[in-house]
Structure 1
Amino acid sequence: MKNIKLAAAIAAALSAVAGTAHAAGFQLTEQSALALGRAYAGVGVDGTDISGVYYNPATMTLHKGTKVQAGGVGVGLNLEFSDDHDESHDQNGRGAEQFIPHGFFTHQINDSTWFGLGITVPFGMGTEYGDHWAHNTTGVSANIITVDFNPNIAWKVNEKFSIGAGVSLQYAQADLKKQSTIIGLSAMSEIDADSTAWGWNVGLMWSPLENLRFGLSYRSNVVHDAEGTLTLEGITSHDLGNGVNADMFNGTHDGFATVEAPAWAMATAAWDVNDLLSLYATFRWANWSSFDQLDIEGTVDLPIGISQNVSSTIKNNWKDTYLFSVGGDLRLTNFWTLRGGIGYETSPIKDPKTRTSIIPDANRWWFAVGSSFKWSEQFSTDVSFAHLHGVGERNLWEDGKKVGRFRRLDAYLLGVQMQYQF
């Protein structure tokens, strides 16, 4: 049996999503359709929904009784690429529109203890170009899904301090395709693998005043040891020479991958100015400098009793990223709340020559608006829209040469959710 053992740092392939890379790297911030409407400023400590289970578990102590929340964010992309030399090579890797779901549950056990459960999609990308695209060595497609199950406990120490912690059981499945160099030959390679792995999270909330709250939270990295298949196509016997049968390399092989999703930390603030107005802010750091490169290494067992080494490497050399956002809520009536926010997020790409077409990242602005409708004391709905606009350097390089530029790196997000208190 043809057998390829992969030892791969393929974070782009497995620490990711159902959906699209539209935050820095392929991190998905969209775990709340409500907070989307203010570019995630003050998320968690705002107390307006229970998504703090994900962002900061200590903030569960803001919610009395038992609550459930469910919704998601629809995503559309515009990844418009312009070739420097041939207009026929222009492409748009947006792929199909996607929906990123989320769900939360919180329960107040007693006056000082809360339990919560979150089901989220924390990282992601979904891009697609044609197999015969002129620059397919920079990537052809990425279709990835990660689902995170995250139980949490929160403890209200006193009226000013709360702490929380949880564990994450994360399932990841990915299909990543690109033109690669295998044993010195050009081949279309596609890896399809899945895994489950564990992580953890902690949070702290401080309320120095009744109308002022600060939060600090941290989520660990998640390491996946994934198993699946690697498919090679396009290697010919003529390329191999010496009468070697290309069928020994072409086809589907067993695969294994070790991957790591980065850790991140977040600081948030909420100020309830009066009965009508609340103001919010968020700062987030993500450890993308750990995403150094994508290494694929392995061996093919040949019928003559020897093994042929195969390898392919994509250099990333990324840097850490930062998100800054501010926003506010305006409670017009008991039924209707308006909100808005603006944010700026940095790109992880340190060297433009390492940008790939499947993760064509850039610095970006967030522009967001939203609204909530409180239908009863128990039931409310939320809707939000955000435009993420890529700015700054957006060139694509191949084999050390600039081949074109992404004219647009934009995302359009529409979020809806419901909340119910028992």
Structure 2
Amino acid sequence: MKNTTFKLAAVAVAAASALAGQAYAAGFMLTEQSVAGLGRSYAGIGVDGTDISGVYYNPATMTLHKGTTLQAGFVGIGLNLDYAGNDGTTENGREKSQAIPHGYLLHQINDSTWVGLAMTVPFGMGTEFGDDWSQADHGISAQILTFDFNPNVAWKASEKLSFGAGVSVQYASADLTKKTYLADTAKGQQMGGSALFGSSSVRSEIDADSIAWGWNVGMMWSPLENLRFGLSYRSKIKHEADGDLTIDEANLTEDSNLDKLPPQLGGPITTSSELAALLGQLGNYGQLPGSAVVSAPAWAMATVAWDVNELLSLYGTFRWTDWSSFEKLDIDSNGSTMTTIQNNWRDTYLTSIGADLRITDRWTLRGGVAYETSPIATKEYRTAIIPDADRWWFSVGSSYKISEDMIADVGFAHLHGVHERSLYGADGREVGKFRKLDAYLLGVQLQYKF
């Protein structure tokens, strides 16, 4: 019984925290599926008609485009997560820049029917701190990506009304690393907490993946020739993620009392190698199976586009994301639930406005601003892997018509985190603050009409 207790003390929270990081990464939803849209903070996306990314955002808007169009591009993302601990330590979660690709194919079958294919990365992130930074138990690194394959069809019911629908097949992959203090685990507390373990720790890494599916629908209404409204919805996608949990780098510190652990429990332990050997005998040092059910949330979006005149168009977007459905995360290993993580998230909202200015027949300039809320309802639930906060978007962009068949788009956005940005320890006390939570996005794409 004691051996089992010791095993759970070393593993349970390590696995739970690693997989909780994966769920939180899903909380960092990637809106960036269009470079033209990026340039105006995604105001009016889809109903704007300036590219074919509506295949993803609102399939009904495919009816705005004639013939066959191919579009491909990417958005590069860089992070600045400048952290200062109350103990005087500093760290920055900068990870090498990530390039998020997207691709679309749209084809008009006849005057009333369109088909399209969207290939996107709708959720993903990358952060990395030093292995020995002061809050390594909150997270060291995370690499998370999803790939979404989404065929769609659209029907033009009349000159004013269109409908669209599609199915998504989504692959998700996550690799997350953190430090776990043995005294902080639930079983470790039962065994005496820091009085026995001191600040001894292990390093945990989980690599998991999943394939799941969902659906999406949309409609577009054009009461006037120069005015368009859109409504769209994407369903929740439930991922049953399976993978490997690796526990290694056992670190025995001088403040532990494991040297007093009796022989019948595997003691005494006086070195990190002896601690690793005991953990290995108990089956919790090395590689273990790990699994969790994680859902990418449903979202709904309302958009509007108004072509004021030949030179100016104005746009708006409001998006709701159902993060309140993610209340908890159950972590399983070897067929049993090891622990439950409470998240207590709330729904999030994005509101954006933007404009396009067509300065010549070939050049279009654009800009936009947006405000997006964070899913973190209680500040103590913020993690270092993704220290989310409310954010402002500031965007600019441009399109250039290279020929009658080809258009190039560029866009840039600065996302600036505001309001509560502190990090808290297991005891609820503030341990430090992120002085900056900023992201920098730069995108390029090409559109080609056959």
Query: Please, what TM-score do these two structures have when normalized by structure 2?
Result: 0.85
Choose which of 254, 266, 270 in structure 2 pairs with 1:243: 266
**What's the counterpart of residue 381 of structure 2?**
354
- Mapped partners of 1:253, 1:360: distance in 2: 28
Choose which of 70, 73, 81 in structure 2 pairs with 1:71: 73
Q: Which amino acid aligns with 2:152?
A: N
SS at match of 1:122: coil
User: Do 2:290 and 2:331's aligned partners in 1 also have CA atoms closer than 8 Å?
Assistant: no
Q: Which amino acid aligns with 1:375?
A: I
**What's the counterpart of residue 187 of structure 1?**
202
**What's the counterpart of residue 240 of structure 2?**
225
Residue by residue over 1:323-382, the C-alpha shift from the partner in whole angstroms, topping out at 9 and shown as x without a partner, is 000000000111100000011011111111110001101111110000000011100100
**What's the counterpart of residue 295 of structure 2?**
260
Give the direction of change, closer, same or farther, for the CA distance of 1:294–1:177 in structure 2 (3 Å limit): farther
1:235 Cα deviation after fit: 5.1
1:95 Cα deviation after fit: 1.2
**What's the counterpart of residue 444 of structure 2?**
416
Give the direction of change, closer, same or farther, for the CA distance of 1:171–1:206 in structure 2 (3 Å limit): same
**What's the counterpart of residue 141 of structure 2?**
141
Give the direction of change, closer, same or farther, for the CA distance of 1:350–1:15 in structure 2 (3 Å limit): closer
Q: Which amino acid aligns with 2:442?
A: L
**What's the counterpart of residue 272 of structure 1?**
307
Matched, 1:214 2:225: no
- Mapped partners of 2:330, 2:251: distance in 1: 24
Structure 2 counterparts to residues 51-70 of structure 1, below 5 A: 51-70=53-72
**What's the counterpart of residue 295 of structure 1?**
330
Give the direction of change, closer, same or farther, for the CA distance of 1:83–1:76 in structure 2 (3 Å limit): same
**Structure showing the higher strand proportion among its residues:** 1
Matched, 1:332 2:359: yes
Residue by residue over 1:152-203, the C-alpha shift from the partner in whole angstroms, topping out at 9 and shown as x without a partner, is 0000000011000000000111012223355634532211011110010000
1:236 Cα deviation after fit: 7.8
**What's the counterpart of residue 396 of structure 1?**
423
**What's the counterpart of residue 114 of structure 1?**
114
Give the direction of change, closer, same or farther, for the CA distance of 1:12–1:219 in structure 2 (3 Å limit): farther
SS at match of 1:35: helix
User: Do 1:11 and 1:260's aligned partners in 2 also have CA atoms closer than 8 Å?
Assistant: no
**What's the counterpart of residue 162 of structure 1?**
162
Residue by residue over 1:273-320, the C-alpha shift from the partner in whole angstroms, topping out at 9 and shown as x without a partner, is 0111000000000011122234324349xxxxxxxx783554321111
User: Do 1:15 and 1:260's aligned partners in 2 also have CA atoms closer than 8 Å?
Assistant: no
- Bigger drift between 103-112 and 226-235 goes to 226-235
- Mapped partners of 1:142, 1:66: distance in 2: 39
User: Do 2:70 and 2:448's aligned partners in 1 also have CA atoms closer than 8 Å?
Assistant: yes
User: Do 1:379 and 1:421's aligned partners in 2 also have CA atoms closer than 8 Å?
Assistant: yes
Q: Which amino acid aligns with 1:13?
A: Q
- Percent of residue pairs bearing the same amino acid type: 63
User: Do 2:202 and 2:251's aligned partners in 1 also have CA atoms closer than 8 Å?
Assistant: no
User: Do 1:174 and 1:192's aligned partners in 2 also have CA atoms closer than 8 Å?
Assistant: yes
**What's the counterpart of residue 22 of structure 2?**
13
Choose which of 329, 338, 343 in structure 2 pairs with 1:316: 343
Give the direction of change, closer, same or farther, for the CA distance of 1:74–1:246 in structure 2 (3 Å limit): same
- Mapped partners of 1:411, 1:417: distance in 2: 20
> RMSD of the alignment, in Å?
2.3
**What's the counterpart of residue 283 of structure 1?**
318
**What's the counterpart of residue 205 of structure 1?**
220
SS at match of 1:125: strand
**What's the counterpart of residue 21 of structure 1?**
none
SS at match of 1:360: coil
Q: Which amino acid aligns with 1:212?
A: L
User: Do 1:14 and 1:224's aligned partners in 2 also have CA atoms closer than 8 Å?
Assistant: no
- Mapped partners of 2:68, 2:413: distance in 1: 30
Q: Which amino acid aligns with 2:352?
A: S
Give the direction of change, closer, same or farther, for the CA distance of 1:91–1:295 in structure 2 (3 Å limit): farther
**What's the counterpart of residue 80 of structure 1?**
82
Give the direction of change, closer, same or farther, for the CA distance of 1:202–1:415 in structure 2 (3 Å limit): same
Matched, 1:345 2:368: no
| 5+ long unaligned stretches in structure 1 | 18-24, 301-308
Q: How many residues align?
A: 403
- Mapped partners of 1:231, 1:117: distance in 2: 38
- Bigger drift between 127-136 and 406-415 goes to 127-136
Matched, 1:407 2:435: yes
**What's the counterpart of residue 275 of structure 2?**
none
SS at match of 2:124: coil
Residue by residue over 1:242-299, the C-alpha shift from the partner in whole angstroms, topping out at 9 and shown as x without a partner, is 1183112110112222211111000000000011100000000001112223432434
Query: Please, what TM-score do these two structures have when normalized by structure 1?
Result: 0.90
- Bigger drift between 184-193 and 151-160 goes to 184-193
Which has the larger Rg? 2
Residue by residue over 1:84-128, the C-alpha shift from the partner in whole angstroms, topping out at 9 and shown as x without a partner, is 122xx2111121111100000000011100000000000122111
Structure 2 counterparts to residues 356-371 of structure 1, below 5 A: 356-371=383-398
**Structure showing the higher helix proportion among its residues:** 2
SS at match of 1:256: strand
- Mapped partners of 2:223, 2:20: distance in 1: 40
1:69 Cα deviation after fit: 0.3
| 5+ long unaligned stretches in structure 2 | 1-6, 189-200, 253-257, 268-277
Give the direction of change, closer, same or farther, for the CA distance of 1:104–1:204 in structure 2 (3 Å limit): same
